[in-house]
Structure 1
C-alpha cells in the first residue's frame, strides 16, 4: 500500500540539500540589489506649506468696512470665503506650473558620471550655463540631447541629437560658444563659480515644456493640510536638493504673482468705471452746492433752525434709511447705464463692491439686487418707509415752501456726498491692491528637503532580492524534482 501523505520534514531536507542551487541564486540577487543601490540616484521628498489669505486679512480690510453696510453690499453682498480646492487648481494650473518650470530651468537636465552613478548637476554644481532664444524652450516638440567634453575652459567636442534635425557635431569651441542649430542658436557659457581645468564629459537633455509639465503634474501633490483648513500642503520627490526646493518656492511665488496680477487687472477695470462715475457725481455735487448757496442767499434760510425742527420729528433715523436706499439705487443705475452703453457691449462688468469676484456671478447679483431694490423702493412699494415718514411729512408740510425745498436739496446733497465717499474708497482700495503684501497665499514653510532619501530604500530592495532568491530557487528545485527527474 502506497503512503500518499506529504512529509514536510522530508521535503525540507530535500530542499536544503540543493544548496548548490539556491546559494548561487541568492548571491546573484544580492549582487544585483547592491548594484541597483549603487547605480540609482537617491531621491528626497520636498515639502512646503502656504496659508490662503482672505480679504479681511489683507491691507484692504480697514477700507472694506462698507461690506457690513447697505452700501457695501449693493454690488454683491458680503465677501465669501476662499475655496481651497479652487486655489489648488489655480496653483497647479498649466499657466503657473510652466512659468515655474521656465524660471528654474527645469526642462534642462545636465548630468555627469561620478563613479557608476549619473549625477544630476544643478546651479553652482553645473560647469556650464545655457542661454536660449526667447520662446525656444516652450516651443520645441522633441527632446534635444547633447554630449559635451570640456577641458581648459573649452569645448573639446560636442554632439547634439534630436528628431527635429540631423546630428550636429563640433570640435574645439572656445567658451562662451554659440551653437547654431536648425531650430535656433544656443549659447553655452562657463560657470565662473567653478574652477576646473580637468577633462570632463557631461550630458544634457532638453525636454519639451508640455512633457515636463505633465510629468510634474503627476508628481506634485497639492491639497489642504487638513479636511477643514486654509493651509495648502505641497510635496514632490527629486534627486537634487537645491533643485527641488527652488521649484516649490518658485511655484508658490508664481501663484502669488498670478493672483496679484488678476486683482490688479480687475482693480484697474473697476477704477476706470469708478473714475467715470466720480467725475459725474463731482460735477453734480458742485452744481448742487452752488444751487444751495444761491438759494440760501436769495431766501435767507436759517439752516440750524430748519434742522432743529426736522430733528424734533425723529427724521434723523428715517433720513439714514432713505439715504442708504437712494444711494444704493444710484450706484446700481450707474452700473446698469455702463452695461447699456454700446461701447461696453463686450466689455467686462466692473466689480465695484470688491476685488476678485466672478464677473458672471456679479452680473447676476446686480440683476437680482436691482430687482429687489426696485421692489422695495418704488413709490407703490415703500409702504414701510412711508408709514414711518407719514408723521414727519405732516410736520414738514407746515413749514414754508422755501424751507421744504431747501431741506429736499440738502437731502439730495447728502445722497451725492455718500456716493462720492463710497467711490473715493473704491479708488483707495485699488491703490492698495498694488501693495507688496497684498497676496493670496502666505508662505508658512518654504520648501525643505527630507533628512533621509526616500528612494531607493535599502530594506525594501534587499527584501525584494530575498523574495526573488526564494522564488527562483523554489522554481528551479521544483523543475528538477518534478520534471527532469520524471524524464
Structure 2
C-alpha cells in the first residue's frame, strides 16, 4: 500500500489503540479477577483435600520355584522366554491393579459402605471411628443389582436411632441391634460404644450411609490406584492412591498387598497339590506291582526249593554287577518316561503337569515347570476376559507348542532309553553265555529280583518326592516383600492452592478480555476516529461531536461550556483552516454542505449546532434545509415557522425573492433559517434548475456562512448535484450507528470526483473514544462528574 496513505506512525498508534481498547475497561479486569479469586477461595474452602498414600514392595524372583527365567537356556524357546522375562514385572503390576484383587480388598475392608457426617455446608467422610455400623443382610428381588438408597441416620440415644431415606419416602425410629425391614431389603444397625465420649459426640447429629455394589467400588479404586515399577530394571514396585481419608487409603494399600500375596500363595499351592495327587496315585500302583513281584519271588523259590543260588555264580555276577546297575537306572527312567507319556496323553490340556518326579532330563523338567506357569497365567487372564482375547489365544498357542515339545522330548528320551536297554541286554547275553552252566531257574530268579529292585527304588523315590511336595505346600512364603508399609504425605496433593489461585486470576482476566475482544470483533459499527481514518486516510476529520446524555439539550446554549459546545468550537476553528486559502472576492460568504451516507447519522443536528456556533462569533449565518425529500430542520423550529415557504417554492416560482423564504431564528440574532418547503415530485430535476445557483449566490451577498442541510449521499443524488456549489462538504458519520463498510462509499465518491472538498465529522462519539484513545480528551472542561463516574471513566 501507499506509504502516504498508511504512514509508519499510524501503525504504532494502532498498537497503542489496541491496548487502550482493553485498558480503558480496567475496572472490568479488576472485578473479574476479584470474582474469580473469591470463587477460587470458596472452591478451596469447601473442596475435600486429597492426600497421597504410598507403599513400596519388592516382587521376589523365586528361582527355587523354577520360574520361567530359568528356562532361558532352551534355544527352541529363546524368543518366547525373552519376551516373558521382559514383561514379568508388567504382568505383576497388572495383577495388582486387576479388578479381581481389588474386589477382594474392598470386600475384606467393607469399603462399599460409606459413612459421612452431614454438616451445615459440606459432608465429611468418617472412617477411623464410626458411631455405628450398618449390616445389609438381604435385598429384595425388585432391588436390582443390590442397590440401596442413601440413608440418613440420627442417633437419638445409646439404644435408639432414626432412619430416613434421601427421597423422604420412608422414615422411622428403631432400636440398635434389631433387624429392620425397609423397602429395598433388611438391615441391622450395631452401635459402637467402645468409646462412650466419641459416641455421645454424635448424638443429635446426622450421618449419611451409602451402600454401593462391590463391583462399582472396585472399578472406582481401580481407576484411582497407581502401581508403577519405581526403579527400572528392578523388582521394586510402588503403590499409591490419593484420598481425603488417609487411614482408609493406607489400610486399602496394605490389604491390597496381602490379597496379592494370598493369591500368589494359592497359585503355588495349586501346583504342589496337583503334584502330590499324581505321586499318590503312582505310589498306589507301584505298591500293587511290588507286592505282585515279591509274591512271585516267594512262590518261585518255594516251588523250586531254592536257597542261595547266588553263591554259585558269585564270580560271574560280580563281573555283571556294573551292567545290572546300568539296567536298573535305565529301566527306572524308562518307566518314568512311559508313565509321564501316558499321563499327558490321557489328561486334559487344561490340567497342570506333575513336576519333580525324578526324570533325569533337565530339559523335560524345566519345560514342565514353564508349562505350569503359563497354565496359571492363562487362568488369571480368563478370570477377567474370555477365551477369544488375543492375549489368551497367544498363550494357548504357546502352551500347545510347549506341550508338544515336552511330549516329543519324552518320546525321544524313551526311544533312547530303549536303545540303551537293548545294548545292555546284549551285554547281558554275553555274560549269560559265560554262565551257561547256571541252571535256567537262576535266570528266572534273577529276572524276578531285578523287577523287585526296580519297583522298590521307584517306590522309595516316590515317597521322597511326596514328602518334598508336602514340605513345599506347608512352607510357602509371600511373593511380595514389604519395604514400606502404607504411609501418607502431610501435604495435600489436591486441590493445589497456588495453581488454583493462579488459574482463577488468569481466568478472571481472560473472561473480560475475551468479552471485550468478542464485542470488538462482532462490532461492525464505527466507534472512533481511527475507524474513519482507516477507510478515509487522506480525508481530514475536522470535528468529533460527543454523545448526548439523556436529559441534556441538543442545541448549543449561550455561554455554554459543556463538552459538546467545546467540540463544536473545535469544529468551527478547524473550518477556519479549511477556508484559509479561499479568496474572499467581492466579500462573498462561504458555503458548506452537510451530508451523510444514510439517514439517521445526525447531519441536521450537526448542521444546526454548527450554525449556532458560527453565529455566536458575530458572523451572519443562514441554515438552508436542502433536503427537500425528507425535511428534518423543522423539528428545531417553533410552530409558527414550520409552515413558512422555503427552497422548493423559491426555485419553482420565479417571482419570489430570497427575503421571502429567509426567516430569523429565535436562538440567535445572527442566525437565519431557510426551510426546505413543500416536497416536490421531482427533487433531483428541481435542484438542477438555474434558480438553485441563483439562490446560493444571493445568499452569499448577505451572509458570511451558508450551511446547507442536504439529503444522504448514498440514498439519493441530490447532494451530488449541488456539491459543486459548496466550498466545503462536511460528511457526517455517526459512531455506534454507521456501519464501517458504508465508509467505502464516501471514499469512492471522492475518488470519482462526485464529492469534492470533503471533511469528515464524527458524531455521537462516546467519551471513552474521544480523540486518540481519550488519553487527553476534554479534561479541561468543568463538567462535574461523580466519584463513581470518574473511577469508571464515564
What's the TM-score once normalised by structure 2's chain length? 0.50
Aligned length in residues: 454
Whole-Å Cα distance in 1 between the matches of residues 500 and 442 of structure 2?
96
Q: 1:382, CA displacement in angstroms?
A: 4.7
- Asked whether the 8 Å contact 1:246–1:447 carries over to 2, the reply is yes
Contact persistence 1:21–1:477 (CA under 8 A):
no
| Whole-Å separation in 2 of the counterparts to 1:154 and 1:220 | 39
Query: Would the aligned equivalents of 1:29 and 1:469 in 2 still touch at CA under 8 Å?
Result: yes
Q: Distance in 1 between matches of 2:472 and 2:420?
A: 40
Q: Specify the alignment match of 2:621 in structure 1.
A: none
Secondary structure in 2 aligned to 1:153?
coil
**What's the CA shift for 1:37?**
1.0
Residues 159-174 of structure 1 correspond to what in structure 2 (within 5 A)?
159-161=164-166, 167-170=169-172, 172-174=173-175
1:283-310 C-alpha deviation (Å, 9 max, x unpaired): 2224434555776782514387666323
In 2, Cα distance between the equivalents of 1:481 and 1:276?
Answer: 91
Does structure 2 conserve the Cα–Cα contact (< 8 Å) formed by 1:38 and 1:116? Answer: no
1:282 pairs with 2:287: yes
Aligned ranges 1:4-403 → 2 under 5 Å:
4-7=10-13, 8-9=15-16, 11-12=18-19, 15-53=22-60, 56-57=63-64, 83-113=88-118, 116-124=121-129, 126-133=130-137, 140-142=145-147, 144-153=149-158, 157-161=162-166, 167-170=169-172, 172-192=173-193, 193=195, 194-197=198-201, 198-289=203-294, 291=296, 298=306, 300-302=308-310, 308-311=318-321, 316=325, 318-319=326-327, 322-323=330-331, 325-332=333-340, 335=343, 339=347, 349=351, 351-353=353-355, 357=373, 358=375, 368-378=405-415, 382-383=418-419, 386=422, 391=427, 393-399=429-435, 400=438
Once residues 276 and 321 of structure 1 are traced to their aligned partners in structure 2, the CA distance between those partners, rounded to angstroms, is 22
Partner Cα distance (2:315, 2:296) in 1 = 20
Task: Identify the structure with bigger relative contact order (alpha carbons < 8 Å, sequence gap 6+).
Answer: 1
Higher radius of gyration, 1 or 2: 2
Change beyond 3 A, Cα 1:329–1:480: closer
Query: More deviation in 248-257 or 172-181?
Result: 172-181
> Could you tell me how far apart the structure 2 residues matched to 1:134 and 1:440 are?
37
The runs of 5 or more residues in structure 2 that have no matched partner are 72-83, 357-368, 377-395, 528-734, 737-794
Partner of 1:456: 495
Superposition RMSD in Å: 3.9
Contact kept, 8 Å, 1:145 with 1:160, in 2: the verdict is: yes
CA contact 1:150–1:157 (8 Å) conserved in 2: yes
Judged with a 3 Å threshold, the aligned counterparts in structure 2 of structure 1 residues 139 and 85 are, in CA distance, closer, same or farther, namely farther
For residue 123 of structure 1, give the secondary structure of its aligned residue in structure 2: coil
* Structure 1 residues 249 and 13, CA gap change in structure 2 (3 angstroms): same
Quickly say closer, same or farther: Cα 1:302–1:224, change in 2 above 3 A.
Answer: farther
SS of alignment partner, residue 454 of structure 1: coil
In structure 2, what is the Cα distance between the partners aligned to 1:134 and 1:302?
Answer: 80
> 2:512 is matched with which residue: 450, 464, 473?
473
TM-score of the aligned structures, taking structure 1 as reference length: 0.78
CA-to-aligned-CA distance 1:150-172 (integer Å, 9 cap, x gap): 2433655322247xxx83212x3
Distance 1:271 1:385, change over 3 A: closer
Residue 463 of structure 2 corresponds to which residue in structure 1? 424
Whether contact under 8 Å (1:153, 1:174) holds in the other structure is no
Provide the C-alpha distance between the structure 2 equivalents of 1:156 and 1:271, rounded to a whole number of angstroms.
Answer: 56
Whether the 8 Å contact between 2:327 and 2:421 is mirrored in structure 1 is no
Cα 1:89/1:5, change in 2 over 3 Å: same
The secondary structure found in structure 2 opposite 1:149 is strand
2:485 match: 446
Change in CA separation of 1:106 and 1:397 when aligned onto 2, cut-off 3 Å = farther
Shift in Å, 1:467? 1.6
| Contact 2:328–2:454 under 8 Å retained in 1 | no
Change (3 A) 1:479 1:54: closer
CA distance in 1, matches of 2:136, 2:107: 11
Q: Could you report, residue by residue, the CA deviation over 1:74-107 in whole angstroms, capped at 9, with x for unpaired residues?
A: xxxxxx9793344444443333221211111221
1:26-85 Cα offsets, whole Å, 9 max, x none, are 111111111111111111222233333455457x99xxxxx9xxxxxxxxxxxx979334
Distance in 2, matches of 1:33 and 1:123, equals 30
Q: Distance in 1 between matches of 2:30 and 2:176?
A: 55
In structure 1, the residue corresponding to 2:474 is in which secondary structure?
coil
Structure 1 stretch 229-238 or stretch 395-404: which is displaced more?
395-404
Deviation at 1:469, TM superposition (A): 1.7
Q: Indicate conservation of the 8 Å contact 1:139/1:208, yes or no.
A: no
* Cα shift at 1:439: 3.5
Secondary structure of the structure 2 residue equivalent to 1:24: helix
Shift in alpha-carbon separation, 1:405–1:51, aligned structure 2, 3 A = farther
